[in-house]
Amino acid sequence: MDKYPEIEGKIAKTLEVLSHSYATIRAGRANAAVLDRVSVDYYGTPTPVGQIASVSTPEPRILVIQPWDASALKNIEKAIQASDLGINPTNDGKVIRLAFPQLTEERRRELGKQVHKYGEEAKVAVRSIRRDAIELYKKQQKKSEITEDDLRDIERDLQEMTDKAIKDIDALTAKKEKELMEV
């Protein structure tokens, strides 16, 4: 539409955050994005794993984490154990291996609920962007900066943008749920 670049930007950011959240949900295969939420205590500073180690995927179900500083190995292991990944790290003194097991039916359901929750949160965020924008334009109309007809057109445009964003969220959610069921 390009009539409302600020609002479109906020909606695009919401979709981007949702995509990133979905990438962090492990679906039975190794994916370095699952480590994005894991912070390691590195010399007193919470640091993402990717900033203190290289992460590789030598096999479809295994992640190998090799810290650049060997002294960080124990802290990385502790951070992974404390996280909600549900995977026990294997430390051989040089690298940490994460073996991703096949998903059980129960774990798939849990992850499905998490996917659904993220989707709902994104929808709420989009609706709140629409609500805030409409209030802003209503104030402009009260100050006689825009007409009632303009306000009606703007509300219609914002509703169309919201509907499109909700469809996009539903599509992303369905894709992720399908991915969880296929593994």
**What tokens appear for 64 in the block?**
């190998």
d(CA 40, CA 65): 13
What residue ranges do the domains of the chain occupy?
A: 5-23+104-182, 32-99
pTM: 0.69
Q: Is the dihedral of CA 61, 35, 49, 87 positive or negative?
A: negative
Please state the rounded mean pLDDT for residues 121-147.
93
**What tokens appear for 53 in the block?**
């180690």
Q: Do domains 5-23+104-182 and 32-99 have the same CATH topology?
A: no
End-to-end CA distance of the chain: 38
**151 within 8 A of 141, measured Cβ to Cβ:** yes
pLDDT tens digits, 3-13: 888 999 999 99
Domain 32-99, second-level architecture: 2-Layer Sandwich (3.30)
Q: C-alpha distances in angstroms, 181 versus 46, 68, 73, 78?
A: 34, 36, 34, 30
Q: Is the pLDDT of residue 1 over 60?
A: no
Highest mean pLDDT among 27-31, 74-78, 168-172: 168-172
Q: Is the dihedral of CA 170, 123, 180, 66 positive or negative?
A: positive
CA-derived radius of gyration, the chain = 22
Q: What is the pLDDT of residue 135?
A: 94
Please state the rounded mean pLDDT for residues 139-164.
92
d(CA 53, CA 72): 9
The fold of the 5-23+104-182 domain, in CATH, is Topoisomerase I; Chain A, domain 4 (1.10.132)
List the alpha helices (DSSP H) in 3-104.
5-23, 49-52, 73-82
Q: Is the pLDDT of residue 183 over 60?
A: no
